[in-house]
Amino acid sequence: MLGRLTYDSLPFYSIIAFGGAAITVGAGLAVIGLITWFRLWGWLWKNYLTTLDHKRIGIMYIVVALVMLVRGFIDALMMRGQQMASASGHGFLEGDHFQQVFSAHGTIMIFFMATPFMAGLVNFVLPLQLGARDVAFPFMNALSFWLTAGAAGLVLISLVIGVFSTAGWVGYPPYSGVERNPGVGVDYWVWALFISGFATTMTGINFVVTILKHRAPGMAYMRMPIFVWTVLCSSLIILIAFPALTVAVALLGLDRLFLTHFFTADHGGNLMNFTNLFWMWGHPEVYLLVLPAFGVFSEVVATFSGKKIYGYSAMVKATVIIMFVSMLVWLHHFFTMGASATVNAVFGIATMIIGVPTGLKIFNWMFTMYRGRVRFHVSMYWTLGFMVLFVIGGATGVMHAIVPVDYNTHNTAFLVAHFHNMLVPGVLFGYVAGYMYWFPKAFGFTLNQKWGIRAFWGWAIGFTLAFMPLYALGLMGLPRRTANIYDPSFLPLLIVAFIGALCVLFGIVALLVQLYVSVRDRAQNRDLTGDPWDGRSLEWSIPSPPPAFNFARIPIVDQLDAFAEAKRAGRKLQYEPAGPVDLPVPTIVPMVMGVSAFLLGFAAIWYMWWLFVLSFLVMLGAMIGRSFVDHNEFRVPQREVEAGLRTAAGRAGGVQ
Amino acid sequence: MREIRRGPVVGTILVATSGCSRASMPMLNPEGYVGRSEFELLVITTAIMALVLVPVIIGTLWIAWRYRSSAGRADYDPDFTDSKLISGVTIFVPLITIAALGTMTWIYTHRLDPYRPLGTTERPYEIQAVSLDYKWLFIYPEAGIATVNQLVAPSGQPVTIRLTSDPMMTSIFIPGLISQIYAMPGMETRANFLAENPEQRDGANAMYSGPGFENQRFVTHILAPEDFAAWTKGAAEGKSLEGAEAAKVEERLDMAYYKKLVVRSDGDPITYFKSVSPDLFQDIVRLYMPQYHMSSLPTGAEYMGAN
Ligand SMILES: [Cu+2]
């Protein structure tokens, strides 16, 4: 009945494991309790759990990302603490706990923090910037979200029931094979990635079609905001790269479950193929995360410099070049696997070539500020912090691309420092800048600037202190993933790194305080105009928060930054005539499918085959049932749309 | 000359580190052709990158400050989005940097190909390394001996290490001496080096292969040729290396003993085998890849000719 799930799978074997489980369960119960206390279930059900509105799905994505950010960061803090403590001989993580922690940290931060954060921001912003009323496939959009949430749930539950993988976030065989790791840990990892892989692929399809088919009239490709361009390229990368990952983990799952030999060392299997497939996804993944962040920075810099972006067409070309080249460099993750010098050199040089368009972008952001009027909104802090710190990571990235340098730094703390230097200032700073930039659009009031700036300094200083020592430790020969530091001379730098992690902790707490303070003081910080930053793209032409149908009348675009240009010329945007709007009917089906996917994965991990079959049938039934629903849209009559228009005009001072 | 090269690195990127002794910064105190060239490359590229980075960082902050809105500068121009001069610079600076670094990559990658034996006509000295859970086995086929967790090699002579693993994927790492390269089950990979002077260096498995991988470490002893010859003779009689930890001595390493050795263990002592069955390395690879045949090692000249 319960497969291989027994009493021993519960975390009563160690205090730290039990503490982690208690926090997870306790936090979950607390959230449920609070929702019940404030009688929010009905509101939540109607507005979020069953919604197909892209804006609310975007918000839910970001909530998931922030929750997972906290979880992943606790892992990071434990790792820094363990390495520091063990250097002085008193490590506190026992058994394979450290290994579980770094595996969970990487998996969570990439798949369940960065990716959902990106999906959330894009979901919210993209249709608004395009002048669209929703994404192309609202139902599939909700399904993507709920599958992601289900997969994230699997990672979270692994803390309570059973263990997580110890194979790192990359899960290389033969270590992740069933012979070496027969337990549930790797299976948790496999199923979480498999499910979220499907979800992200569908998200990519949705974004591409939305951009191709749902632009406002007149918005030619070269009139799209840079953010939209970066999303387009990022989504195309998703379509090409994610199937490689989904296939790789599926084949690994077959090796584990049915003892096939895709990635075993013997019986004709080839473990190098997993490495290949994984990085065919893994490198592009970095770019599909960072491109939208570049898009956010472009929007933020242009808006707060009061200028058009410098070199728009060069920016677009740079983005497209990055998209193509990013898919041709994956071999740099295994220069040390023994390929010929020519193969290694070609991939090394291809990797460096990405530095050209990226460098160009940095210069273009600089010259967007040049002769502008730079306002130091908190999003500008994140942007400037990004520009200063990211170039250091770019430089060490180019160093890694020089094959013989990589021979020395590969697998060391230097590498860890490098990719955190890309992902923290590059990706996370971008998303946080976007979160603070678009927050008033989503909720109708601005975020507290003071706490935002404090959060920035916590992150920027914390990042520097935490990762610059790792560069040095790498050069001192410290292999990554070392649980017990064997050389006491590493201790001083590890202490610095730990202090850095504490500063980041302050940054995270400041983000939460900012949210709390802003909600508390929302009455003073209302955004009544819909355009608090003197923005440039279409999302600022509608009220904050936007009505369910986004645009009462669809704007007509006649140039790049049409809204900003209209404001400057003192005229109004042109609009199509108002009419009735069809909106998707809320539905419970995506949530049912997400929960079923969670149960399906859980059943497969624990060999509860009855539950596996049952949840599969529920998913299948839900999908078939859904396809028989004819009336999945409801019509907002023209009267109501126009009423929305009038109140919007009243509130927004005639913006629309 | 070496002292001068070390200067900027110590000064710029590693201020915070506690000195720069050989033990704490092996990569910055390289030995032999491979280690030295790789170090040289590290310094040159760091310098080139710094040349671009520093102006960009300063420029970014300077422009942001200079054009802050509260300064109310008169040259505000919201339509300034294109300038031939600036666009030229912004494309050429990255392009030239990358072109320079790309050229260096091409040259150095070929020069430092880990498969290329050093020296030209001299046949390299062969050592076979097997990465086990969590220990290193080194076989010296010419001397017919084997060691666990201790690598001893001659100086002044090219050395080739043939690598394989059983059963995990790992990576051999002797910072400052050889290029890191993966050891994989059922496959043979190679690393080459030529150390000029006798010395001692730490080696490790740099690639996570399970809890305990960080204990898969060994000490590398480079000995002068005559000392090395004496050591191999002594080891065949069970004599430990002078000045190093005393080794546990075993008689013969054959497949039967290997089956015991391969069992996962942690923190194994340095062990010497007085004799080894001749084709053990090949047999270990064949456990996974029955078709495997060991080919003879090329000299530097032969390798370059074949390439
Ligand atoms: Cu990469």
Which H/E stretch holds residue B96? Answer: helix B84-111
A 69-128 residues with CB below 8 A of B?
95-96, 98-99
Distance from the Cα of B82 to chain A's closest Cα (Å) equals: 6
Look at A367 and B90 and tell me if their CB atoms are within 8 Å. Answer: yes
Name residues of chain A where pLDDT drops below 50: 648-656
Rounded to the nearest angstrom, the distance between the alpha carbon of A332 and the centre of ligand 1 is: 6
| % of chain B beyond a pLDDT of 70 | 92
Kindly indicate the confidence band of residue B24, based on its pLDDT and cuts at 50, 70 and 90.
Answer: low
Gyration radius of chain B over CA positions: 25
H, E, C per residue of A175-192: CCCCCCCCCCHHHHHHHH
> Cβ of A374 and B64 within 8 Å?
yes
Domain segments of chain B as ranges: 8-68+81-111, 125-292
- Tens digits of residue pLDDT in A155-166: 999 988 988 999
Please classify residue B290 by burial: count the beta carbons closer than 10 Å to its beta carbon, then call 0-12 exposed, 13-18 middle and 19+ buried.
exposed
Strand residues in chain B grouped as ranges (E): 125-132, 135-140, 145-148, 150-154, 159-166, 170-173, 181-183, 189-193, 199-205, 217-223, 248-253, 271-276
pLDDT tens by residue, A560-603: 999 999 999 998 889 998 888 888 889 999 999 999 999 999 99
Q: What is the pLDDT of residues B257-275, one digit of tens each?
A: 999 999 999 888 999 999 9
What length is written for chain A? 656
Instruction: Please give the helix or strand (H or E) that residue A581 lies within, else none.
Output: strand A581-584
DSSP calls for B261-302 = HTS--SSPPPEEEEEE-TTHHHHHHHTT-TT--PPPPPPHHH
Q: Which of B41, B82, B180 sits opposite A336 (nearest CB)?
A: B180
Cβ within 8 Å, pair B190-A338: yes
What is the CATH number assigned to the segment(s) A40-88+97-587+631-647?
Answer: 1.20.210.10
C-alpha to C-alpha distances, B248 to A239, A594, B144, B153, nearest whole angstrom: 57, 58, 17, 19
Mutate to test the interface with A, among B60, B166, B215 (most CBs of A within 10 A): B60
A349 → closest Cβ in B59, B77, B105: B105
Would you call B41 and A404 a contact, using CB atoms and an 8 Å cutoff? yes
**Partner residue opposite A266 with nearest CB, options B91, B186, B205:** B186
Nearest to B169 among A172, A476, A483 (CB): A172
Residue B23: pLDDT band by 50, 70, 90 thresholds? Answer: low
Question: Distance from the CA of B195 to the center of ligand 1, in angstroms?
Answer: 33
Alpha helices, H only, A54-111? 54-87, 97-107
Rounded to two decimals, the ipTM of the complex is 0.90
How does A422-446 read in b/e, with b if 16+ C-beta sit within 10 Å?
A: bbbbbbbbbbbbbbbbbbbbbbbbb
Q: Single out the residue of A651, A656, A380 nearest to residue A526, CA to CA.
A: A651
A327, A241 contact by CB (below 8 A): yes
Label the pairing between strands B181-183 and B217-223: unpaired
Considering Cα of B175, then B179, then B184, then B189, what sign does the dihedral take?
negative
Cβ distance B231 to B152 under 8 Å? yes
pTM over the 0.90 mark: yes
pLDDT at A237: 96
Q: Is the peptide bond before B117 cis (omega within 30 degrees of 0)?
A: no
Q: What is the pLDDT of residue A632?
A: 79
Coil, helix or strand for A34? helix
Rounded-to-integer distance, Cα B34 and Cα B25, Å: 16
pLDDT at B40: 86
pLDDT value at residue B233: 94
pLDDT at position B6: 43
Neighbours of ion ligand 1 (CB under 5 A): A 283
Out of A371, A472, A486, name the one closest to residue B17 (CB): A472
Q: How many angstroms separate the CA of residue B125 from the nearest CA in chain A?
A: 20
Best CA proximity match to B50, nearest among A406, A421, A366, A395: A395
The pLDDT value given to residue B1 = 33
Exposed e or buried b for every residue in A41-73, given b needs 16+ CB within 10 A? eeeeeeebbbbbbbbbbbbbbbebbbbbbebbb
Cis check for the bond before B94: say yes or no (omega within 30 of 0): no
Would you call B109 and A403 a contact, using CB atoms and an 8 Å cutoff?
yes
A54: nearest Cα among A250, A228, A203? A203
Per residue in B186-199, pLDDT tens? 999 999 999 989 99
CATH of B125-292, one of 2.60.40.10, 2.60.40.420, 2.60.40.1120, 3.30.1370.140: 2.60.40.420
Contacts with A290 (C-beta within 8 Å, 6 or more apart), sequence order: A422, A423, A426, A427, A430
Which chain B residue lies closest to A353 (C-alpha atoms)?
B98
What is the pLDDT, as a whole number, of residue B8?
40
Residues 487 to 546 of A: which have CB under 8 A from any B CB?
Answer: 487, 489, 492-493, 496
CA A105, A106, A111, A114: dihedral to nearest 10 degrees?
A: 80
Strand, coil or helix: A442: helix
- B:264-293 residues touching chain A, CB 8 A cutoff: 287-289
Interatomic CA distance for residues A638 and A574, integer angstroms: 19
d(CA B151, CA B235): 12
